[in-house]
Chains A and B, each alone.
Chain A
Amino acid sequence: MRDRLPTRRTPRAALAVAAALAAATLAACAPAWKQAPHDQRFQRAPAPILHRPPAPEALPGDWWDRAHSSSVRPLARAVSPARWLAGLAGGPEALDVNAFGEVPDSTWFENRIGRRPMTPEEIAHGPGLSEPAPGPLVVVSGKLQGATPGIVVRDSKGTIWYLKIDPPAYREMATGAEIVAQRLLHAAGYLVPEMQIVDLAVDRLVVEPGSLRVDDYNRMVPLTRPYLQALIANLNPTAEGRIRTLVSRQVPGTPIGPFRYRGFRIDDPNDRIPHERRRSLRGLWLLSAWLNNTDVRQQNTLDSFIVVDQQRRLGYVRHHLIDFGDSLGAAGERDKYLGEGYEGHIDWPAILGRLFGGGLVYPYWLGVRRSPYRTVGLFEAEVFDPARWSPGYPNPAFDAATPRDTFWAASLLARLDREHVAAAIEAARYSEPGAAAYVLDVLMKRREKLLRHAFRRVVPLVDPEVAGTTLRLRDLGVATGLVAAASAWYRFEVRWNRSGKMDCLLAQHRAAAPEIDLAPALARASELSPGALTRDPFVTVSVWRVRHGRRGPRLDVHLRVVDGGLLPVGLWREVE
């Protein structure tokens, strides 16, 4: 009976609810960049939660992975309203970013050249220069069929190394490409294994009773010395018994399988952002296009578990990119075929386009010419079109990339100059005369095309710095030579972001360089409402770059007034 009686709220309770709602509403309306603390551009992500080792992720079947990514997923996306809506209205933005649109350091990505200038020596060094310890290398296991064996060895110190050897028909091609890509991706900030090119004496390779190999039926069977010798003989070592080998050190920690380019690892409590919503993975498309790394799949990633608390076996997971043997003109065991990197292996939109084109539609890449260098293969910059570059198989993170993700990656690419790239190529130790110079030339031309593509829809102003009351930005278009400094000028608007009131325009300004002295604007705010800047200490500087009479997209730099000075607290880019 009591249950049927209407309940009556007291006025006090109603007031409390209303106040809570109002507070929640106000909190929801406040922009994220206003939320304290405000600090520098490169913060770290929260320290990872320590946890027990996740279950190892099984590598998906290669066949199904190819079929799924090339046909099933495109079919699914074709019937997905989410995909069409994202195409029309813009997809969801990345989640692993701070108020500046930067990717904080994390177990996925560590800001390197984005944080500070690097020397060519640092690029050449990469994540490390270690090599297998002297002495015999015990073959533990590996894929030993096919033209290029992948051999897992253990050196005399017990360190595990992966050895890769080029097939005789394509000497230096895959190993060289892998080193170049690894050094440059490391400089960009990705976690990659240590790897070097060494001249390996083949008699260092030994087998022991526990050595195993995979047979034709995917069974692990004992590896015998005669089998290994026959295999090495097929690889054409030099008369001195040496062979060019890429040695790749096992990544730190215990390998627990690959990561996917979408979703998250359900048993990793730190893995809380779907991978396709990570800017570090979305932006990887631009760097992959640059390096022509066409095999950016789950198969070429590796998670490892880093133990921090040995006693309780607690630790966290680090996420690595591995295996860049499909970069530049290489495609693993072979060189790239015509069209590879220009459209997917099974590219349904291109196929359907030709189907309905009645034979009049030709692939745009038919004009591609192979490089004259045997060690480089099909790698060029003339026909390369950033907007149409395609990995061999669609990558979910690449598909979800927005112009802001692309710009973020381009801002890293812009910092890698000719000397940096040359240093990475030098680490590849090309022996063919002219090959290194050719690769350098092509990479720089592709870089320019990619930067133009990425800077098309956003203004390439980065690195907001304040000296006194002067805000200074860096124009990557000018810094990379894409835009002549004399051909552009900058328009500024300074607004005061007042809580609960409309923004107040404090100043307008135009300048030949992307810098502005905010002292007059701050003085104007003090005149309008003395002391109010202390209560409402946020101003926003909007910047446009004007070229040939045309105003480009806007950049908003949010600043906080701190003790008479200014601190950049956020940044927003308009996408045209």
Chain B
Amino acid sequence: MIAARLAGALTALTALCTPAAAAPPDGAPAREQAEGLTTDTWRGPEQPLEVHWHILAVPEYLVELAFTPLGFVTSVVERYRLDRRIYDLLRNDEGTIQVVPTGKISGGDGIGVGGAIDIEDLIGRGEDIEVGGLVRLNSDWEASAEYEQSLATLEGREVHLGLEYELDQNEKFYGAGNDTTPADRRILRESIFQSMAGIDIFALGTPDYAGLFEVGYRRVRLTPGTDVDVDEIPLGGAGDTVEPPPDFGSTHDYLTAGFALQYDTRDQTASTSRGLLALVSARTTISPDETSLGAVTGSAEVHWYIPVLPRRRVVVLSGGVGASAPLGEDREIPFHELVVHDRKNHLRGYGNDRFRDRLGWWTSAEYRYPIYEYQDTGVGLTTSLFVDAGRVAGEVTEVWEGPIRWDVGAGVRAETEKFVILLLEVARSPEGIEVGLTVGKDF
């Protein structure tokens, strides 16, 4: 019975898959012969479609069916050139004012949506003003305003002015030190307002060098945060073994002054095949109020791009150190001036904000090789295999003692010759696997 039904179904399917002998249109002879195409010499057998090929191809059909809605959307966008219409809608005819939508995705904070308005040459002096903001699903938000002006009287140096506010309700904190464990995770609610003013150190026309001197004011409030996904112990609560940062629990104002220097001989800023990038920065932070908070912070890092095989097969050797010291014996280091090692900072196999302390070093070796380039445009995909190592420490004597944190991983970056469009990295450390998706990255 089952076999009979199966046979019936197959027959029906065959009938469906086989183009039926079409009925002639109303009033037309059954097989009317067209002029110039008529002979009676050939009677090729009518060959049905083999139904088994169609049955075997069902997964293929399903995949194509699943993508059909995307095809519809793409076709509509192209047909009505919605891309151009939206692009044109978001900028003025001269291209001096444009709205740039932005989006962010992160595992901890969820999706963020926002935008910025970028105004160039508003008063005809080549200035650039950008005002923007972003809101996340977990109610975190940030807003910023920036003004940049190149001054001819200062040999083309740019002046930078900025205002920024950020509210992060689930900043991770594991306590200070290299020996903290994932179980030490606590959540901070962080509210930061800062204003900055800076000026380029080097004049226009020094391509290998860049530098910025900056002064600023910052107001920070750190309080216990919440994370809906984890049953956290409140930081600073009774019986908590994790010691909160010194500026936790109240609002603090800081004055900062510092500089950053860059030496860059890379052949291009992305898809780099050779060159050296060195970064050095130092900053003094002091709280002018009655609390004893203040620090001197410095960092240095080097990235050396070594071509090992033709056509952009590159080994990137990187390394760096960071240090933060209290500004005087009676002061403590503010939370944000500690050295951080985490997924975004040198140790890609560990979670966000994983390690913090006064001192730190890190090193990495990365092998990059291109796997695709779109039509000679310089836009393509590059694969990387990397290994990272490093640790943080509270004292100089501890820097080389104790376990070194390490990870290995691989990544794929979509990049142009000037910037990384998208970077997907998967890294494995003794604490697990971290997946990072980054939109836009400098190197």
What residues make up the interface of A, taking CB atoms closer than 8 Å to B? 32, 35, 37, 39-40, 43-52, 60-64, 67-68, 72-73, 75-77, 79-83, 85-86, 92, 95, 98, 104-105, 107, 216-218, 264, 269-274, 306, 308-309, 312, 314-316, 337-340, 345-346, 350-351, 354-355, 358-360, 362, 366
Contact = CB atoms under 8 A, between A and B. Distances in A.
B56 interface: yes
B42 A264 contact: no
Contacts of B39: 43-44, 47
Residue from B38, B53, B370 having most chain A Cβ neighbours under 10 A: B53
7 contacts: A46-B43, A47-B31, A61-B79, A76-B61, A82-B57, A316-B37, A355-B383
Contact of A37 (B43, B59, B63, B385): B43
Contact of B41 (A39, A309, A337): A39
A43 B57 contact: no
A104 B42 contact: yes
A83 B47 CA distance: 21
Contacts of B125: none
B74 interface: yes
Nearest to A215: B81
Nearest to B54: A82
Residue from B24, B34, B41, B64 having most chain A Cβ neighbours under 10 A: B34
Contacts of A218: 78-81
B397 interface: no
B63 A76 contact: yes
A517 B29 CA distance: 48
A62 B25 contact: no
Nearest to A105: B37
Contact of A216 (B49, B70, B84): B84
A76 B67 CA distance: 10
B60 interface: yes
A120 to B, nearest CB: 26
Given A61-B79, A217-B85, A47 B371 contact: no
Interface in B84-143: 84-85
Nearest to B72: A64
Contacts of A76: 59-61, 63-64
Contact of A45 (B42, B67, B381, B383): B42
A23 to B, nearest CB: 16
A76 B59 CA distance: 7
A359 B56 contact: no
A569 to B, nearest CB: 13
A295 to B, nearest CB: 13
Interface string B361-374: 00000010111101
A43 B39 CA distance: 8
B32 interface: yes
A316 B84 CA distance: 40
A44 B50 contact: no
B309 interface: yes
B34 A48 contact: yes
B6 interface: no
Nearest to A343: B372
A121 B61 CA distance: 47
Given A43-B39, A269-B24, A359-B309, A308 B60 contact: no
B28 A67 contact: no
Contacts of A39: 41-42
A64 B56 contact: no
B34 A47 contact: yes
Contacts of B34: 47-48, 50, 306, 308, 315-316
Interface string B353-387: 00000000000000101111011100001010100
B19 A81 contact: no
B421 to A, nearest CB: 16
Contact of A64 (B42, B74, B311, B383): B74
Contacts of A264: 19
B78 A98 contact: no
A98 B19 contact: no
A358 B24 contact: no
Given A82-B53, A358-B369, A64 B78 contact: yes
Contact of B81 (A43, A105, A217, A350): A217
Given A76-B60, A81-B56, 14 more contacts: A46-B43, A47-B34, A51-B28, A63-B77, A67-B71, A79-B60, A81-B57, A217-B80, A269-B22, A309-B32, A312-B27, A337-B376, A345-B375, A354-B383
Interface residues on B, range: 35 or more
B29 to A, nearest CB: 8
A98 B70 CA distance: 41
Contacts of A306: 34
B313 interface: yes
Nearest to B60: A80
B44 interface: yes
Contacts of A43: 39, 41-42
A351 B372 contact: yes
A274 B49 contact: yes
Interface string B219-248: 000000000000000000000000000000
B13 to A, nearest CB: 14
Nearest to A38: B41
B380 to A, nearest CB: 10
A47 B56 contact: no
Contact of B28 (A92, A107, A314): A314
Contacts of B56: 80-82, 85
Residue from B23, B49, B372 having most chain A Cβ neighbours under 10 A: B372
B375 A52 contact: no
A270 B23 CA distance: 11
B50 A92 contact: yes
Contacts of B329: none
Contacts of B57: 80-83
A366 B373 CA distance: 13
B35 to A, nearest CB: 6
Contacts of B81: 216-218
B250 interface: no
B93 to A, nearest CB: 13
Given A44-B37, A63-B78, A64-B75, A79 B63 contact: yes
Contacts of A82: 53-54, 56-57, 60
A72 B67 contact: yes
Nearest to B383: A355
Contacts of A272: 19, 21-22, 46
B153 interface: no
A360 B310 CA distance: 10
Interface in B367-420: 367, 369-372, 374-376, 381, 383, 385, 412
B131 to A, nearest CB: 29
Contacts of B367: 359
A272 B48 CA distance: 10
B206 interface: no
Residue from A46, A51, A345, A354 having most chain B Cβ neighbours under 10 A: A46
Contacts of B38: 44, 47
Nearest to B50: A92
B432 interface: no
A107 B50 CA distance: 24
Contacts of A346: 372, 374
A340 B373 CA distance: 11
Residue from A81, A274, A315 having most chain B Cβ neighbours under 10 A: A81
Contacts of B375: 337, 340, 345
A61 B75 CA distance: 5
Contacts of A315: 34
A83 B311 contact: no
A75 B78 contact: no
A308 B42 contact: no
A35 B19 contact: no
A429 to B, nearest CB: 29
A346 B377 CA distance: 13
Contacts of B309: 359-360
A67 B73 CA distance: 12
- Top 4 A-B pairs, shortest CB-CB distance: A359-B369, A269-B22, A61-B75, A43-B42
